[in-house]
Structure 1
Amino acid sequence: MSSTKTLTEPSTPALLKLRGVHPTPNTCAYPELDRKGYTVVKGALSAEKSLEYVSRAFDWLEGFNKGFKRDDRSTWRPENLPAFVWGGLFNRHGVQHEQWVWDVRSEQAIVDVFSKIWDTDELLVSFDSVNISLPFDENANFQKGAWPHTDQSPLRRHKHCIQGIMNLVEVGPKDGSLMVLEGSFELYNEFFETHEQDAPPEGWSWRDSFVPSDEQIQWFYDRGCKWRKVEAGPGDLILWDSRMIHYGGKAEGDSIRVATYVCYKPAKDIEPQAVELRQKCWDQLIGTSHDPLLFRETGSIALGPLTPDERLRPLQRPVLSDRAQLLAGVESY
């Protein structure tokens, strides 16, 4: 369960805080990305392979020995799980470098999707988090509600990043899945151009994150934007434009959600200082934010533990395949 402890965000080198010259993704292979701002790539992984990863995800949860048992619904309580936020987002405990998470992001079929988007197979991948959302009792004590946001700085107003969720279970209209505010990505530039007065005194943040207020969200509603839950099957890859307002929707029924976050960009476009920072993150098993080129450090080591007994790293350092070493930036193309 999440804590209210105040944490200090690690400093980020100034070079990584903004701009630079970065390519525009080529979304011709997935035209819905330009038309709707999101799409579902069916069958990136087989249902059998997806089920295997779900089992490994539950192995990971049970490995904390906090009382969670996958086959005993009475143990599906926040206090029996390692710390998480928003119903099932696990971004601590070294999960970004667990072997099963690396095995997912190294799947060639997923890499191939992003190769089409960037017109190259020489890619780097983010050291991102996972989502394992369980249908808790309505009286369970955990962080509830929606958290609409974008994963793109207001200072970056072009098509900049395509994010991915590797969906490992069936998610229908009542299940936990990605919620998108349809139409919001098309209004991204207009919103910031007409809301300069909303910027803080120091200006819009360089962080690839923007959390609109209720009043600002209403601006999008007034222009016809509506929330939609993205439905997908086991093995489907959900893609979306980082300018899209979105959040992780909770389950309304009894179904679980298991997914990993994946994002890739061309290795040739990374700045030298970012190469050094990625190497540090790999050496120390630190997580990163979504963008593999312009990123922040995340996770227990970067942010500091919530409790004295918090696991900072995976129990075992992952063993990377030759392909994964290239994706990690451990080896050069």
Structure 2
Amino acid sequence: MNDTIDTIGKHSIRDRNPSTVGTAVTRLAPRGDRPLRVLSEGDWRHWEENGYVVIEGAVPRATVEGIGDLIWEFEGMDRTDPATWYPPEKSRLRRTELSYNAGMVELYHHQLLWDARQSPRVHGAFADLWGTEELWVSIDRVNLNLPPEPGFEFKSFMHFDYDPDGEADSVQGVLSIGDQVDPEVGGFVCIPELFRHYARWRARQPDDWDWYRPDVTGLPRVAVPLRKGDLLIFNSRLCHGIRQNISRDKVRMAQYIAMLPAREEDAAAREWRIRCWRERMAPQGYSLHGAAHGSRYDAAQLTPLGERLLGLASWRN
């Protein structure tokens, strides 16, 4: 059972989706003189200064449009009929569960989702940031952020998903399934100024500060516009959140994709990942609710790159 929206905090995060967790020695790569696969030099400078980078056209348009259709189908909604967008049970959950309030959808496995995960351009971008091609991809869900229904109160807040004082580096990623250039649609928002001056800001925080719900009053927030198929990658030390969709009839859709250095020596982690893919299991962890009917889709076919990103094949062969 997850804590309610009003009581949630760093104490609530007792376990996580295993596919999104690195190790204490996980480190992002310095620029050095190595060639970049996907990022430009300007992208790299933006990444270092602001804590995020946008990879344009990271996933083919046909795949992204297919994912959009899939989300509507999975949720049992008609995109042309807003009367179908607010079934009573989902409306109830949006009032009490933070993940539903923010638009999370418990869909993890489908050929199209894996096609996005095994996109060479997506892999190349993460390989640039980690300094290695030997990565594992996260097995994560999607987002459908609807216009507000009557009586709805949006309660998402600016946060860190990981303790920014922790030793390990981590990254997160958001693939835009539809254009997010209209401010009314909502979308990703962050505080690059805090990323740049974190140590100075942190020194002013109380000893018992809550990194999951930090007080960032007065700090400028930057909304990041995205086009369909763009991939936003951000450093987990970047304070971020989701802006509310305040439009009348538009939706915000996204798929969460990240990659971390592969841990091929961890047999238990590798076996869990393979089983998760093969049996279409929903990961367990904080704020995850499982997919009651996610296994109705067949196991995805993987490319040779996808097999390595899952852990089914070794990067060393």
Which interval holds the TM-score relative to the shorter structure? 0.7 to 0.9
Query: TM-score normalized by structure 1?
Result: 0.73
Q: 1:180 aligns with which of 156, 176, 190?
A: 190
Alignment check: 8 A CA contact 1:25 1:161 kept:
no
Per-residue CA deviations over 1:192-236 (Å, capped at 9, x if unaligned) read 455362158xxxxxxxxx3124xx323xx3xxx311211011111
SS at match of 1:318: coil
Secondary structure of residue in 2 paired with 1:185: helix
Alignment correspondent of 1:164: 173
The DSSP-based 3-state class of the residue aligned with 2:254 is strand
State the partner residue of 1:23: 27
Indicate yes or no: 2:300 matched with 1:319. Answer: yes
| Aligned AA (1:150) | F
Partner of 2:254: 259
Q: Distance in 2 between matches of 1:46 and 1:18?
A: 28
Q: Which amino acid aligns with 1:161?
A: S
Aligned equivalent of 2:145:
133
Deviations 1:20-70 (A, max 9, x none): 3222244684321111112222222344442222112222222xxxxx322
The alpha carbon displacement at 1:264 in A equals: 0.5
Report if the CA contact (8 A) 2:55-2:230 is conserved.
yes
* 1:39 paired residue among 53, 61, 76: 53
> Does 1:241 find its partner at 2:235?
yes
Residue 3 of structure 1 deviates from its aligned partner by: 10
Residues 1:229 and 2:223 are matched in the alignment: yes
Q: Are residues 276 and 193 of structure 1, via their aligned partners in 2, closer, same or farther at CA, if it must alter by over 3 Å?
A: farther
2:132 corresponding residue in structure 1: 120
Residue by residue over 1:51-104, the C-alpha shift from the partner in whole angstroms, topping out at 9 and shown as x without a partner, is: 222112222222xxxxx32221222214375966124112x3xx1223332222
3-state DSSP of counterpart to 1:331: coil
1:300 matched to 2:289? The reply is: yes
Q: 1:85 and 2:86 equivalent? A: no
Instruction: Give distance in 2, aligned partners of 1:235 and 1:17.
Output: 25
C-alpha distance in 2, partners of 1:122/1:175?
Answer: 36
Structure 2: distance between partners of 1:150 and 1:9? 11
- Asked if the contact 2:63–2:115 (Cα under 8 Å) also holds between the matched residues in 1, the reply is no
What letter corresponds to residue 117 of structure 1 in structure 2? Answer: L
Identity of aligned residues (%): 22
Q: CA separation of 1:276/1:19 partners in 2, compared to 1, >3 Å: closer, same or farther?
A: same
- How far the C-alpha of 1:255 sits from its partner, in A, is 1.9
Structure 1: tracts of 5 or more residues without a match = 63-67, 201-209, 290-295, 302-309
Match of 1:149 among 152, 155, 159: 159
* Partner amino acid, structure 1, of 2:177: L
Tell me whether 1:217 sits opposite 2:216 in the alignment.
yes
- Mapped contact 1:181–1:227 kept (Cα < 8 A): yes
Q: Is the 8 A contact 2:25 2:167 kept in 1?
A: no
Tell me if structure 1 keeps the 8 A contact 2:264–2:311. no
> What's the secondary structure of 1:234's corresponding residue?
coil
Computed over aligned residues only, the root mean square deviation of the Cα atoms, in angstroms, reads 3.5
One-letter amino acid of the counterpart of residue 98, structure 1: H
CA distance in 2 between counterparts of 1:317 and 1:77 reads 28
SS for the counterpart of 2:101 is coil
Q: Structure 1 CA distance, aligned partners of 2:286 and 2:301? A: 20
Relative distance call for 1:239 and 1:9 in structure 2 (3 A) is closer
